[in-house]
Structure 1
Amino acid sequence: MAAVPSIDSLPYEVRQEIYSLIVRQTDSHARNSGSVPTLARYATVSKRWQEEFVEPLIFKELRVTPNRLQDFNHIVSSPRRRGLVQTILFHVSLDRYEQYLDSEQETSAERRRSVEILVTALKDIFRAMILWKKSETSPRGLDLHLVIDSPSDSSTLVGGKRGLLVTARGLTSYLKIDPDTLSLPYLDVFSGFRCTGRHLKPTSALAIASRLRTLEYLDLELSHDSTRTRDIEQRNNFANGLEEHAETVRVLSLHRPSPMLTASPSPPKQPWSDFYVKMRAFSQQCESFDFDDCIDAMQFFAPFLPGHTAERTLRGQEAPLWMRLKRLNVRNSYLVKAPYLRVASRAEALASIHKILVAVGRATSRMPGLLFARVSQYILTDGELEWFVIIYECHAGKAVVRVRGFVPSKPILGAWRHSVTTKELEFDVVHENDGANVPEL
């Protein structure tokens, strides 16, 4: 009787097809049963299966906690395994608290304790990662995803899509590290950094990012835009520190923290403020720039607004030129929730959105390498959400502008058309509106 062939003797393409089938079945089982999928059991099939199939999947993203750093160092001690890692999710757990404190912010003493836990954990993970060599990692580098929360932050109530709600304490308690006292070694293995969970003040996140010498991608929560001294100071310090502490960043994504539970005064309209001047300057070194309500699009694109050549381009400043920018994503909302009310009525919101869509269209003439842009503006009135979206795509010498949720006026289309013609591209407009009752803007 002929010997049964080993599965390792199958052609590489056949093995890959088997691997794909197993992954699909594992994911399907996890969705239906609600359990966490596991592929580790397949490592026992053979050494080839372990190295060729299992490890590239389970080492792609590693979840690490401060208590498991010793195990982490042991598991990824070999350069081969380090080369498989793409993301390190470092989960820092803060102290638990009683349920009756769910709706209260941390006290000063509790906040100091939380910062102490975070700083200690950061020192531990940085000491562990200093043993890594850049030559051992993926050519794209590693992403560091910092998750900070308390086990008590998840409420026993069930939120949308059967997910747990986050307590008011978890939403409103923030962490702020003193950059002058933060002592961390420099690392050159991370190309991406993001932080989720408890809100980490942007200057604190920037202090951590400053220790990552090859950082290219930065995804941060930016403090709410309001007239509060704390917000203004944080935002200005963050914008001022970008050039010094994130000089290698080419992909910048900024978004507002978790929804505010208390109202906050609306910010003043000062497009010439330090924050907007510095943000416009830094964005000109980016290849991708993404922001939501944490930045007011009206203020950011003020040099391109209609009328008086935007106050002579904001008091004598030269119009921005985004030579490297390939991707732009802008999202703003109106009448949704303080401090993002921005306007007093729907009519005023429509007028503002019209100006923004014209201004961004004009600005794209100063983005010679732009391949994709999405400008999304939303209005919430009487419980109904209206959306106004322009999507710009450039490929093979042709630019296509897709319009959703409204009928664009001549000034809007004219601004985008003019920008395209200055680049000597073909121009086409596609209307993707489902109904006939969409408003004209």
Structure 2
Amino acid sequence: MAAVLSINSLPYEVRQEIYSLIVRQTDSHSRDSGSVPTLARYATVSRRWQEEFVEPLTFKELRVTPRRLKDFSDIVTSTRRRALVETIHFHVSLDRYEQYLDSEQETSAERRRSAEILVSALKSMFRAMILWRKSETSPRGLDLHLIVDSPSDSSTLIGRKGGLLVTARALTSYLKIDTETLSLPYLDVFSGFRCTGRHLQPTSALAIASRLRTLEYLDLELNHDSTRNRDIEQRNNFALGLEQYAETVRVLNLHRPSPMLTTSPSPQKQPWSEFYVKMRAFSQQCESLEFDDCIDAIQFFAPFLIGPTAERTLRGQEAPLWMRLKRLNVRNSYMVKAPYLRVANRAEALASIHKVIVAIGRATSRMPELLFARVSQYVLTDGQLEWFVLTYESHAGKAVLRVRGFVPSKAIAGAWKHATTTKSLEFDIRHENDDSNVPEL
């Protein structure tokens, strides 16, 4: 009688083809026993099947809650399994609240309670992770995704894209940790950290990040740029703390919180404020930098603005030099919502966008390793959203500039061309405009 063939006797390439077919027909994350089969059903086919196919997918991204930390620790005990983990989504649930409170901010007592829940959960999480060693994880390290929200934060309203909206309480109730009393052990297994859900004040997020000694990637919400004393103080403290608590970070992504329901006065133009000076200084250690409306591009790139005012501002200041920067992504809006109105009318918006694109073009001459840059500026007028996008790519001795939504003026083309010629690169501009009536900037 012929021997019965097993899955283990098949060549590796054949097994991989089988695995890929199964993945396309399963839900790799679902834990429900619905009509769509899950990977868990295939775990008992064979030990090789489990170790070679099921576990690399199921352990790649782990979703953990404070209540399941013990199960998490019991399951991911072996070095082999720990090496498979790339991301840990740690979901902290705050207290529920009644529907009639949907539109009200948390009270001071409720904010303290939310902070206590978060700190307690973080302490448990960090105690579980202290048993991990850097040598046990993948060479890239782990990403920690902190999700904090209440089960009641989902509104009964449906958004334009069909998803549930969050309540006004979720949008306006922020989280703040007492950084002076926060006691967490240091970990060396996380290389990335980001927060979503309830807005965690940037200094509080930085306090958590400071316990991650090998952190390279940081993705945080930064408070609105306004004249409110609380905003100014938090932003300054955050910028000051970056150098001290995030010295190993090389990839920095900053973005504004979810739209707040209360407006705030727009900030004054202060490119040499403590915040912008410190942010420019810290950014010079980054390999990738991304920010949106939380940072005003004109103020950030003020040293490269053209004109007598800019020259006087720059006097006595050394122009930044981004020796490591390979990727830059800048997004700013105009006339969309306070405090990001920035200008009074469309003509002022276009003039500001022109300044930004020229200044960033000049700044790229101080970015010798830059491979990719994207500058996205958008303006809301009469209910119409206009996009002005410039993309820069450098490869094989050639720099290609793609523009959409506008025709680049001589000043813009000249600034970017000069920056590329200083690096001995060929230069080419490509227009990707569908509308022949796009403005010249």
TM-score range, shorter chain: over 0.9
Quick check: 2:29–2:58 contact (8 Å CA) kept in 1? Answer: no
In the alignment, the residues of structure 2 paired with residue 408 and residue 183 of structure 1 have an alpha-carbon distance, to the nearest angstrom, of 53
Quick check: 1:190–1:214 contact (8 Å CA) kept in 2? Answer: yes
Distance 1:121 1:266, change over 3 A: same
Distance 1:49 1:160, change over 3 A: farther
Which digits, 9 at most, give the CA deviation of each residue in 1:9-46, with x for residues without a partner? 1100011111111111225998xx99887211110111
Say whether 1:113 aligns with 2:131: no
Say whether 1:408 aligns with 2:405: no
Report the counterpart of residue 100 of structure 1 in structure 2.
100
Structure 1, unmatched stretches of 5+, are: none
In the alignment, the residues of structure 2 paired with residue 334 and residue 432 of structure 1 have an alpha-carbon distance, to the nearest angstrom, of 22
Report the counterpart of residue 174 of structure 2 in structure 1.
174
**TM-score when normalising by structure 2:** 0.97
In the alignment, the residues of structure 2 paired with residue 25 and residue 363 of structure 1 have an alpha-carbon distance, to the nearest angstrom, of 48
In the alignment, the residues of structure 1 paired with residue 29 and residue 372 of structure 2 have an alpha-carbon distance, to the nearest angstrom, of 37
Quick check: 1:272–1:314 contact (8 Å CA) kept in 2? Answer: no
Which digits, 9 at most, give the CA deviation of each residue in 1:71-106, with x for residues without a partner? 000010111111100000000000000000000000
Report the counterpart of residue 10 of structure 2 in structure 1.
10
RMSD, matched Cα: 1.6
Question: What residue identity is the alignment partner of 1:126?
Answer: F
Q: What is the correspondence of 1:187-266 to structure 2 with a 5 Å cutoff?
A: 187-266=187-266
In the alignment, the residues of structure 1 paired with residue 171 and residue 301 of structure 2 have an alpha-carbon distance, to the nearest angstrom, of 30
Say whether 1:286 aligns with 2:286: yes
- Tell me the secondary structure at the aligned position of residue 3 of structure 2: coil
Quick check: 1:313–1:319 contact (8 Å CA) kept in 2? Answer: no
Question: What residue identity is the alignment partner of 2:175?
Answer: L
Report the counterpart of residue 317 of structure 1 in structure 2.
317
Say whether 1:420 aligns with 2:425: no
Report the counterpart of residue 69 of structure 2 in structure 1.
69
Question: What residue identity is the alignment partner of 1:295?
Answer: I
Q: What is the correspondence of 1:30-49 to structure 2 with a 5 Å cutoff?
A: 38-49=38-49
Deviation at 1:156, TM superposition (A): 1.8
Quick check: 1:303–1:309 contact (8 Å CA) kept in 2? Answer: no
Report the counterpart of residue 377 of structure 2 in structure 1.
377
Quick check: 2:28–2:57 contact (8 Å CA) kept in 1? Answer: no
Question: What residue identity is the alignment partner of 1:379?
Answer: V
Report the counterpart of residue 329 of structure 1 in structure 2.
329
Report the counterpart of residue 270 of structure 2 in structure 1.
270
My pick for the range that moved more, 100-109 or 426-435, is 426-435
Which digits, 9 at most, give the CA deviation of each residue in 1:99-134, with x for residues without a partner? 000000000000000000000000000000000011
**Percent of paired sites with the same residue:** 85
Q: What is the correspondence of 1:344-363 to structure 2 with a 5 Å cutoff?
A: 344-363=344-363
Question: What residue identity is the alignment partner of 2:374?
Answer: R
Deviation at 1:160, TM superposition (A): 2.9
- Tell me the secondary structure at the aligned position of residue 24 of structure 2: helix
Deviation at 1:437, TM superposition (A): 1.6
Q: Size of the alignment, in residue pairs?
A: 439
- Tell me the secondary structure at the aligned position of residue 199 of structure 1: coil
In the alignment, the residues of structure 2 paired with residue 383 and residue 34 of structure 1 have an alpha-carbon distance, to the nearest angstrom, of 44
In the alignment, the residues of structure 2 paired with residue 262 and residue 172 of structure 1 have an alpha-carbon distance, to the nearest angstrom, of 8
In the alignment, the residues of structure 1 paired with residue 36 and residue 143 of structure 2 have an alpha-carbon distance, to the nearest angstrom, of 23
Question: What residue identity is the alignment partner of 1:124?
Answer: S
Quick check: 2:29–2:38 contact (8 Å CA) kept in 1? Answer: no
Report the counterpart of residue 50 of structure 1 in structure 2.
50
Distance 1:293 1:34, change over 3 A: farther
Which digits, 9 at most, give the CA deviation of each residue in 1:222-258, with x for residues without a partner? 0000000000000000000000000000000000000
Report the counterpart of residue 364 of structure 2 in structure 1.
364
**TM-score when normalising by structure 1:** 0.97
Deviation at 1:3, TM superposition (A): 2.9
- Choose between structure 1 and 2: higher helix proportion: 1
